[in-house]
Structure 1
Amino acid sequence: MGDVSSVPSRSSERDIEDLKNTWILWTFKPETILEGLTYSESHCLWTNEIERLENIPPPHPSPTRKHEVFQLEKYKHVDRRADETGQRFNRKPVRDLVIHLTKDFPDDISKVRSIYKWVTIQPIQKLSYPDIQPDEDTVLYHFWKLKRREKTYAQFFSLLCGYACLPCVVIDGHMKGSTYDVGQNLDSKHNGEWNAVLVDRNWRLVNAFWGACVLTGNENEDFCYSTDENYFLTDPQHLIYTHFPRIPDWQLLDPPKNQDEFQKQAFLKDRFFNLEMRLLSHPNCTVDVQDGEVEFFFGLNPQTAINQSFMCITSIYDSKDINAKPMEFADKDLTLDFIQRPNEHLLSIKVRFPEVGTYKVEIVGKDDTLQLNDYDFDWIAIYKAVVKSIPIRQKFFPKPEPAGWGPSRGLYELGLKAIIPLDGIIQTDTGNVELQYQIVDEEKAKGIYLSFHLLPIGSDVDEADEKDTFTMEKNIYTLRISNIEPGEYKLKIGERSSGLERNVCNYNVISSMEKAQQKKEDSDKVKEIKRLRE
């Protein structure tokens, strides 16, 4: 069982009295309450009615995930009621509000959804409050306490669920939120509260405070709260990357993680799970880097990855590892990172660092099919990279073109599929390169005209030979480029059937100096020997 020691709370004695008609289920005992609460060893919480726990399951992992029990489109009618309720009940008793929000909903999910939706869209910071404390029985009183930070969202959410006869636990612990920087040791400034609500006999995790922190509109004028769906019935396997209950049982995981694991683990964010990604490398948030380069690997869902975009932002910390400043290149043609997809299941992000030091590496992404207001790139994962050594002559990556590196969505939109190469980096020790694209959708591929440009890194001089063009045989486009001089190049593939060239694919071509030159010299020697023999 978990630690039962008391921890400080922002709750006052008045708040506990507010709950006298509801069921208190908290994982901590407020210092202001000395009587009336009993600790349950079986459920790892403090309560004012311990006998009622006999019919309530203790904390346990749920056999189902969120997507199996909740689909947003099926609860639009519930959300409409919460939206339409607005502030109509602000000066009425809390019980009246809850009755209105949950009336005629037969199932637990609809009830808790209505409460969550309503709480997360309330403009608590914008509301006008009386000069004196509002009536303690009203909704406005609780808003007033929230604004003054004398009550938490978790406590208010639990109160509302209690009036709806939904057992709802207030959980305390560490949170990796706005006060946390990657790799930090966790302490009291990272403390927070969230909830577990019993839905159809299974405990589900909710954070209404984080759920209410998405703003839409002009923040200085007509801004409003909108609901962040990531914190409603969140899967424990996801929430554990940012929320660590003081009492391990309320992780709802088997086995639970310990605090050292939580502190060291990779700092994964909501967008990582939204895009259905998997962590394939670097399970810890702090990465030791030798030789000035690190490569991160993430698994992708091949059904959706074609419509996903990614970026990497690298910043260097100051000498105290407190403030991080984004890295900027004087040479605008170079960048620190190289992002590619070696195959439809895999995302690779290489980062090269200019000097020894400590860096923050922020990987961001988005779903390009979502055309929503305020939807843009957001964090996937954040790492702290401790660079211990770099090469004497560090080389950086060429800046990517719009289509990015390697086979991209641009090819798919043309009805093509890459056969070779599948990688965004082409290394040749012969000076020769071959590309092949297969037609997989004849309708899309009708009338397309592929072109290419071969540019030395840092130069706008196109070294493509006129005789090197795409050929087509048996529904396969083939490009062969020969005699590429030693060096590093950007190979840009374009399509210009409409008259304007559109970038659809790019490669970083590295022609090996020693091997290419040696092959040329060997070839010259063979030719000379043949000439002498003749």
Structure 2
Amino acid sequence: MAMSSNGNMPEIRPPPNRKKDIFDPQKMVRVDERAREAPFETATTFPELVKYLTTGLVNDVEKVRALFMWMGSHQHLSTVYWDASEDSPIGCWQLQSMGRLSYNDFFVRLCKEANLPCVAIQGVVKAMHYAVGMRDEELKSFQGEWVAVYVAKGWRLIVPIWAFSAVAGFTDGNWMEVERDGEAVFQRDESFPGQHITHLNDDYFLTDPNRLIFECFPEKQEWQLLKEPWSFEKFADVPLCHIQYFEQDMSIIGKFSGRLKSENGKCEIKLKEKPGMFFGYRLFYNVTESGKELSNDTKLDRYVLYKTESGTFGFEVRFAAAGVYKLQVNGGVRRDTFDMICEFRMTCDEPMKDCRPLPINPLIGFGPNSTTKEGGLKAESHTQAVVNFRKEEGTTITFKILKPVNVQTRLFHNEISSNELQKCIDQQPWANGKQIRITVLVPQSGEYALQINTRDEDHLASDAYENVCNYLLTNDNEDTAPQKVKEKMRAMRDAKQRVVQMDPKKIEAITKIKIPSKKLHDIMMATLLMIGKWEGFVKDWAKVCKVLEIKGNQSVQSRVRRFRVKTADTDVCFKARSICENYFDDENASDDADAQDTFCDWVQKAVVAKETVSELENYLPPGTDYEDDVFISSDEA
């Protein structure tokens, strides 16, 4: 066991493995039962209690589990024992119930009696009164404690107060729920102090450091137990991620921030799709911070666009009124048992111009997803949620038919009846019945929702149709598309030039690094993917360095110079984005930036250019070469 410099306890460093590697609840049943059933008389002295709890246990994980379970199972002392010594487990429980002893101090004492190294940690905690995105100064006032215990050859984190108690139902009265899963709510929470409850929550037992850092920020950086420590600014800025976010291995795509600012009256968040799960949302308005109530005629239903595309799902919020909002993302394996996943604060200074609700806001959202395939269809021509159309031109969407189904299509608009729009849709079987083509020719500009429903061929009842896919059709980008494409292509070209002109010595310096940081490896993985290397190859750092050492026409710089947006594989771009988007920056890399930031900037600009072209290409004049320097530079001042 490596010791710290003072020689009194093990060296403080990140644990060698994760909670799941050392703790299996199913293997602790016997330990838990024995701790819960501990006779009262064993708690009269610490030595006697520890001896009872730990006798026969084979390792220190079992020992700390026994102590933890005993504390969590014996919180309800209904009798006062006047003769109990304060230096006994019974006496300590009585002190704790009177507020004279913390869960933390009690647990540290138990561990030390069992010869388990245990340290109390102080710091900032996102406890009951915390709201996502709150000001740094206010957050710093939330001081709390937790512990680190040394078991299984590493320091492990436990939060006794959260593991053994909670406050249920607390609300500060500042938030008004305005929309939930496409339905208007318009209900303000009443202020309620909450109800203190005792329970046993295993989520705060041996919690992995990379998870607890989202909620607890220690005063001493070493107790983060992370290879790459967080700053307080990052701790304050991240989204509020609930237990399900970690248990379901969710991943936020794009800027990893819980403080979002609207652009053109909109905010968008995106997460990696999780097969087998359903998702929903709740949108809240902060009356206090916004400085005013929403007017009764401001019904914010159908202002959140829920969409799935390219292995992601997300929510685009349109703001009809300025103010401070909170978006709560929920999910679960069943639609009737959603849990909170994550939350974001959204600030809108200027509402969206001509902000109108969506034509519909379906429960399954917009864009092809797992429900589409379960309903017998697979999208072939359009895999995105939003389809851009040109005025007076038909838009054809093609599906592969996976099983015998009847297909029903409907078109919706805010001002034109669905019955009237039915004549704008034509659906035809194709490829000997293996495909179906749906062509839409809308009568005027604006937004439309195309709803696609299916039923099995042997279910002929009209109510047997189920919604399996939806598209939002719009031509809002028709006039601005060329300029948007030029801007993104120009940014990509400039980032490419910075890579090409970079001093090769900077790349050579990377090859000298034997053990890279996660950030460096991620960025170089994404870069090599973009220039044609396969994923399994780039996971090996030694192989990455070999590629970086290549000179001449096959060097990384030469291959970046030859990169073309038009021929870039969409799936590869998505994969590159998912690997290193947490390092993306809104600012351009400077000419003197280090190699990793220069490469990251190029990956970001190239991926965004590909996404923009894929979305808006049909608005460009036929035959446009959007990678031609003349096209890119034509509007440059």
TM over 0.5: yes
Aligned counterpart, 1:365: 330
Identify if the C-alpha distance between structure 1 residues 326 and 418 changes in structure 2 by more than 3 Å, giving closer, same or farther.
farther
Structural mapping, 1:160-309, within 5 Å: 160-182=110-132, 183-184=134-135, 185-186=137-138, 189-213=141-165, 225-300=198-273, 305-309=274-278
Select which of 400, 408, 421 maps to 1:438: 400
Select which of 445, 455, 467 maps to 1:496: 455
Q: CA deviation at 1:389?
A: 2.1
Identify if the C-alpha distance between structure 1 residues 82 and 191 changes in structure 2 by more than 3 Å, giving closer, same or farther.
same
Q: Aligned partners of 2:442 and 2:429: how far apart in 1? A: 19
Do the aligned residues in 1 keep the contact of 2:22 with 2:152 (CA within 8 Å)?
no
Select which of 480, 485, 489 maps to 2:438: 480
Aligned counterpart, 1:394: 355
Of Structure 1 and Structure 2, the greater strand share is in 1
Q: CA deviation at 1:83?
A: 4.5
- Deviation track 1:392-443 (CA, whole Å, cap 9, x = no partner) reads 3223334522322222332233454332322222221155333333356xxx
Aligned counterpart, 1:452: 409
Identify if the C-alpha distance between structure 1 residues 451 and 246 changes in structure 2 by more than 3 Å, giving closer, same or farther.
same
Aligned counterpart, 1:16: none
Q: CA deviation at 1:368?
A: 0.8
Do the aligned residues in 2 keep the contact of 1:121 with 1:224 (CA within 8 Å)?
no
Q: Aligned partners of 2:440 and 2:295: how far apart in 1? A: 37
Q: CA deviation at 1:455?
A: 1.9
Q: Aligned partners of 2:351 and 2:93: how far apart in 1? A: 54
Instruction: Give TM-score scaled by structure 2 length.
Output: 0.61
- Deviation track 1:467-518 (CA, whole Å, cap 9, x = no partner) reads 8335254674323123222232222222223332222222222256988xxx
Aligned counterpart, 1:219: none
Select which of 337, 353, 375 maps to 2:319: 353
Q: Helix, strand or coil: the match of 2:418?
A: coil
Residue type of the partner of 1:314? Answer: L
Aligned counterpart, 1:376: 338
Do the aligned residues in 1 keep the contact of 2:409 with 2:425 (CA within 8 Å)?
no
Q: CA deviation at 1:174?
A: 0.5
Select which of 89, 99, 102 maps to 1:139: 89
Unaligned runs of 5+ in 1: 1-40, 44-49, 217-222, 520-534
Q: Helix, strand or coil: the match of 1:234?
A: coil
Of 384-393 and 468-477, deviating more is: 468-477
Do the aligned residues in 2 keep the contact of 1:179 with 1:189 (CA within 8 Å)?
no
Q: Aligned partners of 2:62 and 2:267: how far apart in 1? A: 46
**Is 2:335 aligned against 1:335?**
no
Residue type of the partner of 2:105? Answer: Q
Aligned counterpart, 1:422: 383
- Deviation track 1:259-313 (CA, whole Å, cap 9, x = no partner) reads 233223333333222221223323333223232111112234xxxx122233333
Do the aligned residues in 2 keep the contact of 1:102 with 1:111 (CA within 8 Å)?
yes
Q: CA deviation at 1:191?
A: 0.7
Q: CA deviation at 1:245?
A: 0.5
Q: CA deviation at 1:350?
A: 1.0
Q: CA deviation at 1:248?
A: 0.9
Identify if the C-alpha distance between structure 1 residues 509 and 62 changes in structure 2 by more than 3 Å, giving closer, same or farther.
same
Of 113-122 and 168-177, deviating more is: 113-122
Q: Helix, strand or coil: the match of 2:380?
A: strand
Q: CA deviation at 1:193?
A: 0.6
- Deviation track 1:205-229 (CA, whole Å, cap 9, x = no partner) reads 111221234699xxxxxx9754333
Of 494-503 and 131-140, deviating more is: 131-140
Unaligned runs of 5+ in 2: 169-195, 480-617, 619-637
The RMSD of aligned alpha carbons is 3.6
Do the aligned residues in 1 keep the contact of 2:35 with 2:69 (CA within 8 Å)?
yes
Select which of 408, 411, 432 maps to 2:369: 408
Q: CA deviation at 1:325?
A: 7.7
Q: CA deviation at 1:379?
A: 3.9
Of Structure 1 and Structure 2, the greater helix share is in 2
Aligned counterpart, 1:63: 16
Aligned counterpart, 2:590: none
Q: CA deviation at 1:188?
A: 6.3
Identify if the C-alpha distance between structure 1 residues 130 and 257 changes in structure 2 by more than 3 Å, giving closer, same or farther.
same
Q: Helix, strand or coil: the match of 2:92?
A: helix
Q: CA deviation at 1:253?
A: 1.4
Do the aligned residues in 1 keep the contact of 2:157 with 2:208 (CA within 8 Å)?
yes
Residue type of the partner of 1:254? Answer: K
Q: Aligned partners of 1:120 and 1:439: how far apart in 2? A: 55
Do the aligned residues in 2 keep the contact of 1:315 with 1:327 (CA within 8 Å)?
no
Select which of 60, 68, 83 maps to 1:108: 60
Structural mapping, 1:500-515, within 5 Å: 500-510=464-474
Residue type of the partner of 1:367? Answer: G
Structural mapping, 1:64-103, within 5 Å: 64-85=17-38, 88=40, 92-103=44-55
Q: Helix, strand or coil: the match of 2:422?
A: coil
Q: Aligned partners of 2:294 and 2:165: how far apart in 1? A: 26
Q: Helix, strand or coil: the match of 1:146?
A: helix
Do the aligned residues in 2 keep the contact of 1:172 with 1:245 (CA within 8 Å)?
yes
- Deviation track 1:119-177 (CA, whole Å, cap 9, x = no partner) reads 3455x3x5424285844244333232222222222222222222332211111111011
Instruction: Give TM-score scaled by structure 1 length.
Output: 0.72
Q: CA deviation at 1:203?
A: 0.7
Q: Helix, strand or coil: the match of 2:44?
A: coil
Q: Aligned partners of 2:48 and 2:154: how far apart in 1? A: 27
Residue type of the partner of 1:480? Answer: I
Residue type of the partner of 1:343? Answer: S
**Number of residue pairs aligned between Structure 1 and Structure 2:** 443
Identity score, percent: 23
Do the aligned residues in 1 keep the contact of 2:369 with 2:469 (CA within 8 Å)?
yes
Q: CA deviation at 1:192?
A: 0.6
Identify if the C-alpha distance between structure 1 residues 370 and 479 changes in structure 2 by more than 3 Å, giving closer, same or farther.
closer
Q: Aligned partners of 1:439 and 1:95: how far apart in 2? A: 71
